[in-house]
Amino acid sequence: MGGRTLEPTPVFDTYWRFAARRQAIYEARVAGHNGPWTSDPVLLAHRFTNCYRAADRVSQYAIREVAYSGDQHPDELIFRILLFKIFNRIDTWRLLTAELGTPTLASFDVNRYDAVLGAAFGRGQRLYSAAYVMPSPAFGAMRKHVNHLRLLEHMFEDGIVDRLTGAVTMREAFECIKRYPGMGDFLAFQFLIDINYSAALDFDEMDFVVAGPGARDGIRKCFGPHSAGIEPEIIEYMAVTQHDHFERLGLSFRGLFGRPLKLIDCQNLFCEVDKYARVMHPDISGYSGRTRIKQRYRALLEPVPVWFPPKWGLTF
């Protein structure tokens, strides 16, 4: 790959075993089976995201309640998704809708939104998800959320909708988002994936991928230090050869209602295998040097949401 010969470590096979076990948990929960859904001690003790990014709780909410609920005009659709993704927190979205109604670009006003969010912040309410760091763009405000609201206003005044909908490739759309303050590679790609779930864009998820910091750690654990700099090629290899490796290891993996792992999902799995390997392969290190998994598993009683972009044509 990338003109290099890579020697897989034991974590490489663990990647596929983890994927099969984690997906089996998801399928058992969707089917309504009583737990525990696995005998894997690490999966029983610690929290891991789903194999498929779109199946996770926040993504499910964003797809059904934000992207496919409300005005489907690209301006309004992209506005709702970007507003949601900036905070990436369901409670924050519910707060805004309870106070202001369904957010619309046509009625967006930074001061009105600041009044709601500022009051909540003053009450000690958390506004942002802890899933990833959202740096504060430099728009002159004291509060981070105000700078983000001003960033959002700037994006639409700058014509982000026309840029995105006019993009010919997924990479071009990614560059449209990355050009804005505070939008590095990882955030720009994550935002693009959420917009691409909607009816506003329709790029193939096999077209382009960006490896985040966690994925780079997982890739190094699977392939060693010579993997540095060719992470997208490695992720593509995993997606293209997935069926061969599941079969080679005698693993059952039916995909997401028949949908195979895409680049974003293989990227996501590298993040999770990085964590999993801290316990299963403590002698194999990544870049971060982390040795513990912070989040403990806590069983949720509510049903698992199952709702995916209609354009995928899944039957569930």
pLDDT in tens, 159-182: 999 999 999 999 999 999 999 999
Residue from 87, 15, 85 nearest 51 by CA:
15
At 299, the pLDDT band (50, 70, 90 cuts) reads low
Evaluate whether 295 touches 302 at the Cβ level (below 8 Å).
Answer: no
At 285, the pLDDT band (50, 70, 90 cuts) reads confident
- Name beta bridge partners: 256: 259
Here the tokens at position 112 are 């009105």
Here the tokens at position 244 are 């061969």
Evaluate whether 51 touches 269 at the Cβ level (below 8 Å).
Answer: yes
The confidence score (pLDDT) of residue 184 equals 92
Name the percent of the chain lying above pLDDT 90: 88
**110 pLDDT higher than 90:** yes
The confidence score (pLDDT) of residue 297 equals 67
Evaluate whether 197 touches 63 at the Cβ level (below 8 Å).
Answer: yes
Evaluate whether 276 touches 269 at the Cβ level (below 8 Å).
Answer: no
Neighbours of 250 (CB within 10 A): 7
**294 pLDDT higher than 80:** no
The confidence score (pLDDT) of residue 2 equals 63
